[in-house]
């Protein structure tokens, strides 16, 4: 068991606040970072030196192990502000559990809940003015852990640093997305690391995504590594279809990231007595439903975009148009319900919202 004594967190406030640079009506994703950041160090088998300090560059050795062999994992989550100005995190304890699943798979130090949650809540509380309250906006939060040994032998690092940075976020996609079903490159394999948020998963996806973008698509739908028939994820989102009033999503396993948005959508669908199936779904089944007119909805789910409706699916040189996004019953309803829960407009019956401060 890791021992931990990080309280109190040392806080050094910025003397040069940049909050005035934030135009609440023109928020772009992931470019502007809030005034402060958090970090804690893991050394001699324990987490210590937890601190909040002004956001900015840090000195590191060029031999830092994470830079060479990719012991680097992250989380993505959001804080929301309601009409009363109160700030809430969405299901943060689930992000904590997941970062430790990633840490274990990557042979990295896990992080105690107390370190994760106290760093998170104190940082967001200090920068609460950075949480926008306009429609569809939030504060995106990026916790991450990297190996920090100054050593270039291939082995698990003995030292780690856990950081949290935050960035105001508006809407991620402004329109329904066009996706290309990928049948050459792969994202994840059985026995691999597709189910964890390891940095390398994203680096490897960029080249195929770039090729798809050159052909006019927003992102790729990844298929199984063996046969390229079963649909797995869309970009960095989980994938869902509504066929004949049944909500279908690929089952969790080695190759699928267990999205918190995915789980939230499935939970709401079950609350609404909708039929839900977590099972393999092939491109053939989707195109067959498209032909019969029973493919009612298709969308990706993830923290950044929440619900990204799919307008068009490209497969083997043909494009298949889906029903107009505005008229889709399920994806529009669930997107609105999630936004309403997050902004405190409807009761939070599953206790997903975690109050800050």
Ligand X SMILES: *Cc1c(COP(=O)(O)O)cnc(C)c1O
Residues engaged in binding ligand X (CB under 6 A)? 76, 197, 233, 236-238, 257, 259-262, 301-303
Rounded CA separation 134/130 (Å): 12
Least Å distance, CB 45 to ligand X, is 29
- Between strands 46-54 and 10-11, the pairing is parallel
Q: Based on CB atoms, which residue is closest to ligand X, 168 or 302?
A: 302
Least Å distance, CB 77 to ligand X, is 7
Q: Based on CB atoms, which residue is closest to ligand X, 73 or 283?
A: 73
Q: Based on CB atoms, which residue is closest to ligand X, 196 or 356?
A: 196
DSSP conformation letters of 162-179: EEEEEEEE--S-SSPEEE
**CB distance 220 to 235 below 8 Å:** yes
Least Å distance, CB 196 to ligand X, is 9
Q: Based on CB atoms, which residue is closest to ligand X, 156 or 200?
A: 200
Least Å distance, CB 143 to ligand X, is 12
In this structure, what token pair is assigned to residue 331? 């994806």
Rounded CA separation 110/102 (Å): 9
Phi, psi of 41 (to 5 degrees): -110, 145
Tokens 């060029």 belong to residue:
62
Q: Is residue 49 left, alpha or beta, with left meaning phi > 0 and alpha meaning psi from -120 to 50?
A: left
Nearest to 54 by CA among 33, 36, 32, 34: 36
At 79, is the secondary structure helix, strand, or coil?
strand
Least Å distance, CB 42 to ligand X, is 23
Q: Based on CB atoms, which residue is closest to ligand X, 20 or 210?
A: 210
- Between strands 306-315 and 295-302, the pairing is antiparallel
Least Å distance, CB 225 to ligand X, is 15
Q: Based on CB atoms, which residue is closest to ligand X, 30 or 324?
A: 30
Question: Looking at the chain, which runs of residues are DSSP E strands?
Answer: 3-4, 10-11, 36-43, 46-54, 72-74, 77-81, 87-90, 138-147, 160-169, 177-181, 219-223, 231-234, 237-243, 246-249, 275-278, 295-302, 306-315, 318-321, 353-356
Q: Based on CB atoms, which residue is closest to ligand X, 63 or 189?
A: 189
Least Å distance, CB 209 to ligand X, is 12
């Amino acid at each position: 068991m890791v021992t931990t004594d990080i309280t109190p967190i040392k806080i050094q406030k910025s003397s040069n606040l940049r909050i005035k640079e934030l135009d609440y009506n023109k928020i772009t994703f992931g470019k502007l970072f809030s005034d402060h950041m958090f970090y804690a160090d893991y050394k001699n088998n324990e987490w210590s030196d937890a601190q909040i300090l002004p956001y900015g560059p840090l000195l590191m050795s060029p031999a830092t192990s994470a830079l060479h062999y990719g012991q680097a994992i992250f989380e993505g989550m959001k804080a929301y502000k309601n009409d009363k100005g109160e700030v809430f995190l969405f299901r943060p304890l689930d992000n904590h559990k997941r970062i430790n699943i990633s840490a274990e798979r990557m042979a990295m130090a896990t992080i105690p809940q107390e370190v994760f949650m106290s760093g998170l809540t104190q940082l967001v509380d200090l920068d609460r003015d950075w949480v926008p309250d306009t429609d569809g906006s939030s504060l995106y939060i990026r916790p991450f852990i990297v190996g920090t040994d100054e050593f270039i032998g291939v082995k698990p690092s003995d030292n780690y640093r856990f950081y949290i940075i935050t960035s105001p976020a508006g809407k991620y996609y402004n329109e329904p997305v066009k996706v290309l079903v990928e049948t050459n490159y792969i994202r994840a394999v059985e026995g691999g690391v597709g189910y964890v948020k390891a940095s390398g998963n994203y680096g490897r996806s960029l080249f195929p995504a770039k090729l798809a973008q050159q052909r006019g698509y927003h992102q790729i739908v990844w298929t199984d590594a063996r046969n390229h028939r079963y649909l797995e994820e869309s970009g960095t989102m989980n994938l869902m279809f509504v066929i004949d009033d049944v909500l279908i999503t690929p089952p969790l396993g080695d190759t699928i990231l267990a999205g918190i948005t995915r789980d939230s959508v499935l939970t709401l669908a079950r609350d609404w007595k909708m039929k839900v199936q977590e099972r393999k779904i092939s491109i053939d089944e989707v195109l067959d439903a498209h032909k019969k007119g029973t493919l009612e909805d298709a969308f990706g789910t993830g923290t950044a975009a929440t619900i990204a409706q799919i307008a068009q699916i490209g497969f083997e040189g043909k494009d298949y148009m889906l029903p107009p996004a505005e008229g889709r019953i399920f994806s529009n309803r669930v997107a609105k319900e999630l936004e309403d829960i997050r902004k405190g407009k409807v009761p939070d019956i599953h206790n997903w919202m975690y109050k800050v401060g």
